[in-house]
A and B are shown apart, each in its own frame.
Chain A
């Protein structure tokens, strides 16, 4: 049962955009966000970018082992954080979504603590950087294996449907994920059940070094939705307002029982895949520069300035304020101190079984000696 949406059509030839590269509104309807809402979207994108920079700095300075940059992805990520019902809907994010989680309300303290594996990490130092999660906010803890969270997302959505909770499950992943069997398995099951799931691909055109042409024979990723019996929205994910309005509409149509949908958000990552990658090996610098011209923050800044909602003073104030918040969170995360060694034996099971009990004793002996 697929209903047509009102403002946006699926399967468009070009990505849906509402603000052009000059920062001008090109939507066919009137903006209905107030000034505060408009400025908050900007603030959260800047916060995501600054967080991204700090996480990279932690890796560069040797404090963390790894970093994955998300600069260029902020439009769609912040839009998602603002269109779900926070703490009610469920999110199944992937490893480049730290900015989205920050905007959702996950404290920067927790993200830094996860990065540094200190005691303030709710996940107790179990995972490498860029793998946050929050039960409080229904943000499923990130797992590395690509697309492995898609079937669980389908399951959560089926559960929400069975229990008639009114929740929507929003799942994000990269373009490479769409090639995995798990992706098909999850999307197909959600569709067969008409479950309230929204699948969002943050298509940055590269799965590490493999470009989109080598990833798929499809003309784009949104068209894949057709075969599953759901609408596929082709979206400019570097346009935060287009992302906001499309996600809002897609989430609400899904909430009222219209079944799952796929959104392809076209973005670009400015940095390499991770701090362990060298992107000069597979893409020209000019290409990166070309995409930076479409930067979600720059473009939206022009939009706000055109409406007298932005000036240099506010920008400086904003950066100062976010910078201070992040610095304080980082300090607090570090001050919590490293997780104790023996924590590695907890949470394997609800209660440790005898192998964990025995092996914990073995490690304690080793450390005590």
Chain B
């Protein structure tokens, strides 16, 4: 058992998976000699060589597209996109090739691959280093989507993603890379996709979140507990598939629910969860489902900390939900 940050857990897991399976290769910009701009692939090229840890040209289309071809040809590529904001030149490869290869070929060809990307704001990066584009991926059938928020989950979910037979978009909130340290077991373990983590148990309302807003949500939960309100807090961790069962169970029990995420509100994943709750358990609700999200603006630079849901914004919304 070692204590480590989220980004260290990623690097450690990649190392373990590359040692376990020769088919696992890593590719991306600066992942080799440099060990990645966030050091998520630190030391891997020294250990496994330039054929398995490939410094690619500066081209997201090449990185994701080549990963599709490698996967179809028998490898298990783990591609890194340096920032989620830069995935768009490779978006066609994700949507037209990775997501549809199994389907369009009748499962003759498949793309077992992972596309890792640091996502979210809070690091003063402006709109091109802060976005959380998960809704695009969830909207594309054929892709699985994971958003981690803890070192422990990062290891278990990355292992699952690498061993999965489908393409997995694996989002890593960059502001959490070094925010917390946690004990991560040395042994091999996996966490199934589609299983939410219960972060707090309670009966008064359900707080659903994923990814980069974890610190704010957990702090808001602490504040609520101080005044005698016990929220049930769920970290979804995986958005495709997502844990509808855990969500509906908790919402039916508490009757009140908020979904917190940093991505813009319109057509967001939070909206999908809210709509599903409204469709399936409306009669159990004592208040409308409330979304606390980023704003429908590009991610601003100067207001970096104000764009994503703050503790105050979460608590204000909580009042509405509780007083309804």
Complex Cα gap A346–B112 (Å) = 17
Do B66 and A155 touch across chains, with their CB atoms under 8 A apart?
yes
CB pair B92–A145 under 8 Å, yes or no, is yes
* Cα A159 to Cα B66 with chains together (Å): 9
Q: Mark A118-143, 1 if CB is under 8 A from B, else 0.
A: 00011110110001011100001101
In this complex, the member of A122, A144, A188, A353 whose beta carbon has the largest number of chain B beta carbons within 10 angstroms is A353
Whether the Cβ atoms of A135 and B67 lie closer than 8 Å is no
Quick one: closest B residue to A149, CB to CB? B97
B75 within 8 A of A: yes
Which residue of A131, A347, A354 is within 8 Å of B107 (Cβ)? A347
By a CB distance below 8 angstroms, the chain B residues around A353 are: 194, 240-241
A133 with B109, Cβ < 8 A, contacts A126-B104, A143-B97 known: yes
A-B contact pairs, 5 of them (CB 8 A): A141-B105, A153-B69, A154-B65, A189-B57, A350-B166
| B70:A135 contact, CB within 8 angstroms | no
Contact with A along B58-75 (1 / 0, CB 8 A): 010110111111111111
With both chains docked as a complex, state the minimum distance between the C-beta of B54 and any C-beta of chain A, in angstroms: 8
Expressed in whole angstroms, the Cα–Cα distance for A185 and B75 within the complex equals 20
A163 is an interface residue with CB less than 8 A from chain B = yes
Extra contacts besides A145-B92, A347-B102 (8): CB < 8 Å: A123-B106, A133-B105, A152-B68, A155-B67, A155-B70, A185-B61, A186-B66, A189-B57
Q: Is the CB of B65 within 8 A of A155?
A: yes
The 0/1 profile, CB within 8 Å of A marked 1, for residues 150-190 of chain B is 00000000000000111000000000000000000000000
Residues of A within 8 A of B (CB): 90, 121-124, 126-127, 131, 133-135, 140-141, 143-145, 148-163, 169, 181-182, 184-186, 188-189, 192-193, 346-350, 353-355
Q: Is B59 in contact with A148, judged by CB distance below 8 angstroms?
A: no
Q: Once bound together, how far apart are the Cα atoms of A25 and B61, in whole Å?
A: 44
Q: Give Cα A169–Cα B166 distance, bound, in whole angstroms.
A: 23
Contact indicator per residue, chain B 90-111, by CB within 8 Å of chain A (1) or not (0): 0011001100111111111110
Partner of B68, one of A123, A145, A155, A157: A155
**A residues less than 8 Å from B298 (CB atoms):** none
| Contact (Cβ within 8 A) B89 A143 | no
| Interface membership of B144, Cβ < 8 A | yes
Residues of A close to B142: CB separation below 8 A: 348-349
Residues of A within 8 A of B166 (CB): 349-350
User: By DSSP majority rule, is chain B's interface helix, strand, loop, or mixed?
Assistant: mixed
Complex: how many Å from CA A154 to CA B65? 8
In contact, A151 and B62 (Cβ under 8 angstroms): yes
User: Complex Cα distance A170/B111, Å?
Assistant: 19
* Chain A residues within an 8 Å CB radius of B105: 122-123, 126, 133, 135, 141
Cβ-defined contact, B109 with A158, below 8 A: no
Of the candidates A152, A163, A169, A349, the one having the most CB atoms from chain B within 10 angstroms of its own CB is: A152
List of 6 A-B pairs having minimum Cβ-Cβ separation, nearest first: A151-B65, A155-B69, A155-B66, A152-B69, A135-B108, A141-B105
Contact of B72 among A144, A152, A181, A193 (CB under 8 A): A152
Q: Pick the contact of A141 from B70, B74, B104 — CB < 8 Å?
A: B104
Query: Measured between alpha carbons, how far is A157 from B62 in the docked complex, in Å?
Result: 13
Q: Within 8 Å of chain A (Cβ to Cβ): is B244?
A: yes
Q: Which residues of B contact A186 (CB under 8 A)?
A: 61-62, 65-66
B74 touches A159 (CB 8 A): yes
Contact of B271 with A by CB under 8 A: no
| Complex Cα gap A140–B69 (Å) | 9
B284 within 8 A of A: no
B96-A145 in contact (CB<8A)? yes
Judge if B25 is at the interface, Cβ distance under 8 Å: yes
What separation, in Å, do the CA atoms of A155 and B51 have in the docked complex? 12
The answer for the CA separation of A350 and B144 in the assembled complex, in Å, is 11
Partner of A148, one of B56, B65, B66, B73: B65
Closest to B101 in A: A141
Contacts of A122 in B (CB 8 A): 105-106, 108
A348 to B98, CA, bound (A): 11
Q: By the criterion CB–CB under 8 Å, are A182 and B107 in contact? A: no
Q: Is the CB of B59 within 8 A of A185?
A: yes
